[in-house]
Amino acid sequence: MSTLLKVKNIKKDNILNSVSFEMMSGEMIAIMGPSGSGKSTLLYNVSGMDQADGGEVWLGDTEIVHLSEDDKAKLRLNRMGFVFQQMNMISNLNIIDNIVFPAVRADKKHRAEHYDRARKLLDDFHIGDIAEKRIREVSGGQLQRACICRSMIINPEIIFADEPTGALNRTSAAEVMEAFLRINRKGATIMMVTHDSWIASKCERIIYLLDGEIKGELRLGKSMPEDGKEREPKLVRWLEEFGW
């Protein structure tokens, strides 16, 4: 695997203090830490949705921090996918129209291909039957899986997920996490912010953030069915070292 993302000494107000880390292509990492530690701020600054005060972020050969706002928007549209706790679907569109929306914005010439890809993604996540439904007609877990489909529609280099299971019950959260694991096994690179140790334990690597600084990293490796019962206790023991 090659290095996909390099974060060098990112600073933001009094929230982030010279944060540095790297991500390999195909890696799924969780950013953890107490409320106010800078987790979401880090995600927003790394992805270029917010402007860092200093430092560098490299996605491949592209340095993000010093791009113009227009170039950042193009980068996000063409090379990144996003999944949020608040699902940000357009209420007057059905599910499949919401999924293809970013792809059509980026490339209007291949509209039919975008819809074909969207239907395949929905089928892969076992929610093909909701394609024509409105947002109010589907469950929270189905809707969040549809949001993952939307994040994948342009085949992005990296997906940023901010508390993607935070508003879901355990059953729905498990369905959503399985969707993330499925695309990760196929090569997707995912940076996820979460407060949930069970969700984080499914990730390959966990970064613990406190007071805007990285205090530690734990490598659990790729999640396998046979090690499912061991991962979360190991993570919790590690988190307790930081007063979790």
Cα–Cα distance between 36 and 203 in angstroms, integer? 22
**191, two tokens:** 């940076």
Tell me the average pLDDT across 69-78: 95
- Strand intervals (E) in 13-154: 16-24, 28-32, 54-59, 62-63, 80-84
Cα–Cα distance between 168 and 85 in angstroms, integer? 9
Q: How far is CA 138 from CA 132, 133, 218, 239, in A?
A: 11, 7, 36, 35
pLDDT digit string (tens) for 178-194?
A: 999 999 999 999 999 99
Tell me the average pLDDT across 133-151: 94
pLDDT at site 226: 63
pLDDT at site 244: 84
* Nearest C-alpha neighbor of 57 from the set 70, 69, 44: 44
pLDDT at site 228: 67
Tell me the average pLDDT across 88-96: 92
pLDDT digit string (tens) for 79-90?
A: 999 998 887 899
Q: Where are the domains of the chain?
A: 3-240
Q: Residue type at 67?
A: L
Taking each helix axis from N to C terminus, what angle separates 111-124 and 140-152, rounded to the nearest 10 degrees? 130
| CATH fold for the domain made of 3-240 | Rossmann fold (3.40.50)
pLDDT > 90: percent of the chain: 87
Q: Is the dihedral of CA 134, 129, 85, 151 positive or negative?
A: negative
pLDDT at site 224: 76
Stated length of the chain? 244
Confidence of residue 242 (pLDDT cuts 50, 70, 90): very high
pLDDT at site 39: 96
Across the chain, mean pLDDT equals: 94
The answer to which of 60-74, 133-147, 197-211, 221-235 has the lowest mean pLDDT is 221-235
Neighbouring C-beta atoms of residue 175, cutoff 10 Å: 20
CB 3 within 8 A of CB 24: yes
pLDDT digit string (tens) for 104-124?
A: 888 877 889 999 999 999 999
Cα–Cα distance between 102 and 93 in angstroms, integer? 13
pLDDT digit string (tens) for 21-55?
A: 999 999 999 999 999 999 999 999 999 999 999 99
Tell me the average pLDDT across 3-7: 98
Q: What are the phi and psi torsion angles at 82 (to 5°)?
A: -135, 140
